[in-house]
Amino acid sequence: MGIALDAYLLDWASLLLRWLHVIAGIVWIGTSFYFVALDNSLDPADPPRRGVMGENWSIHGGGFYHKQKYLVAPDRLPERLHWFKWEAYWTWISGFALFVVAYYLHADTMLIDRSVADLSAGTAVALSIGLLVAGWVAYDLLCRSPLGQHEGALAVAGLALITLAAWGCAQLFGARGAYIQVGAMVGTIMVANVAMVIIPGQRRVVAAMLAGEQPDPKYGRWGKQRSVHNNYLTLPVVFVMISGHYPMTWGHPHAWAVLVAVFVIGALVRHFFNRRHAGRTLAWLPVIAALLVIALALAIRPQPPKAAQSSSFAEVQAVIAQRCASCHAATPTQPGFAQPPGGVMLDTPERIGQHAAKIHQQSVLTRAMPPGNLTGLTDEERAVLAAWTARGAPLQ
Ligand code: HEC
């Protein structure tokens, strides 16, 4: 009962944190999209005003808005200045807490796959946290290096870094955990951009103005660079957040390459919108992105394994009882599970039959189940399941 209650409370913690994380993320990404679009759609101020580099008129919610961008800063500091940082900070705080509840506390099922790397839970968590820090340090050094002066070269280096992270995490963690780890590393970079570069730069500008000095324009430049990087990372990072539902992606033998492809596709789509908001519609960008999605879907389509001769339902039942039912039962015996995961129970012949298609999908085609192959499902047993579904999944 103690364990079941703990698992139940953790489910609630997970639900509330996930809810908060999604909402904070929506607010943050919303502001990111809004300000990059605003920046891209500025027109020269009419009439020209000292210090104003551009302005934008818009209509929304029953009124007109007139925004002006000052570069570097207005002559006088306004009395009330709105800052944008807590949406970023809360996204990270809730995201990290969710990572702890959903992955670190279930490291054996969610983070570790002993056939990939034989890590203890403590080592896996320590590696995961170390990588969150290392990812930021490596990225920040890249931006500060001479490469940081060249947008194109920096984009290539950034993609190389993401590729290294995706490949490296695939050598350390279970497939699904590896995806979330890369997502958490990228999310950490995005928040650190806000906390360590954008906001401190803005503080320096404000402090200089209060001291009656001319603010240094380099802070604006640095902040803008990081803010644009964040903008390009939004679509891929949201993909990682929802990828858990799609084992066809992270369950693929070259899951890391799939992830890199999704990063490229997401950034291309973002680029299309950014150029479009600046008045240029590059229609070939979404066409290429769509072609890449089709190519990816074809490249990773599951290959049906060579099925065993034929298998009886009794054999199937035995495999499922041994490899699946510890989690997928009305009252799971697997520690950390209060309810059958995904609502899927595989404890009676009827229920096994009812879920035949999903069983095939999850444990034969994508190998997503059992998570981290915790219960040691063998290839021969997967073939038994495959042969059974090939026969139309009869209950005998
Ligand atoms: C260690 C616990 C555990 C074991 C063992 C396990 N599963 Fe799962 N299973 C899970 C979890 C956790 C999820 C929910 C994944 C998610 O949140 O998307 C899940 C989800 C599923 C789903 C639902 C996926 C969906 O599309 O909603 C199916 C089907 C499934 N498992 C089949 C199996 C089969 C077949 C086996 C045995 C070969 C198995 N599982 C073994 C933990 C387990």
- Residue written as tokens 């509330």? 16
- Closest residue (by CA) to atom 37 of ligand 1? 324
Q: Summarize pLDDT for 123-135 with one digit per residue, the tens.
A: 999 999 999 999 9
**Dist CA 243 CA 177 (whole Å):** 11
- Find the 259 Cα to ligand 1 centroid distance in Å: 22
Q: Which two tokens stand for residue 120?
A: 């203890």
Amino acid identity for residue 385 in this structure: L
Q: Over the stretch 97-121, which tens digit does the pLDDT of each residue have?
A: 999 999 999 998 899 998 899 999 9
Q: How far, in Å, from the CA of 382 to the mean position of ligand 1?
A: 14
Expressed in angstroms, the distance from the first to the final Cα of the chain is: 36
Q: Which of 176, 249, 250, 327 to mutate to test the pocket of ligand 1 (most atoms within 8 A of CB)?
A: 327
Task: Using the structure block, give the residue that is written with the tokens 């570097």.
Answer: 72
Q: Is the CB of 376 under 6 A from ligand 1?
A: no
CA angle centred on 100, ends 248 and 199, rounded to 5°: 100
pLDDT of residue 311: 86
Indicate the pLDDT class of residue 193, thresholds 50, 70 and 90: very high
Calculate ∠ Cα 81-87-93, nearest 5°.
135
According to the model, what pLDDT value does residue 307 have?
62
Tokens matching residue 88: 């970023």
Distance, CA of 388 to CA of 390 (rounded, Å) = 5
* Nearest residue by C-alpha to atom 3 in ligand 1: 327
Close Cβ partners of 45 (under 8 Å, ≥ 6 residues apart): 52, 53, 54, 55, 68
| Residue 156 in tokens | 């290539």
For ligand 1, say whether the CB of 328 is within 6 Å of any of its atoms.
Answer: yes
Cα(22)–Cα(262) distance, rounded to whole angstroms?
A: 20
Q: pLDDT for 62-95, tens place per residue?
A: 999 999 999 878 888 899 999 999 999 999 999 9
| Largest Cα–Cα separation, the chain | 85
Q: Each residue of 292-337: pLDDT tens digit?
A: 999 999 999 987 766 667 889 999 999 999 999 999 999 999 888 8
Question: Nearest to residue 72, comparing CAs of 176, 195, 251, 209?
Answer: 209
Q: Does the beta carbon of 252 sit less than 6 angstroms from any atom of ligand 1?
A: no
Q: Does the Cβ of 7 fall within 6 Å of ligand 1?
A: no
> Separation of 344 CA from ligand 1 center, angstroms?
7
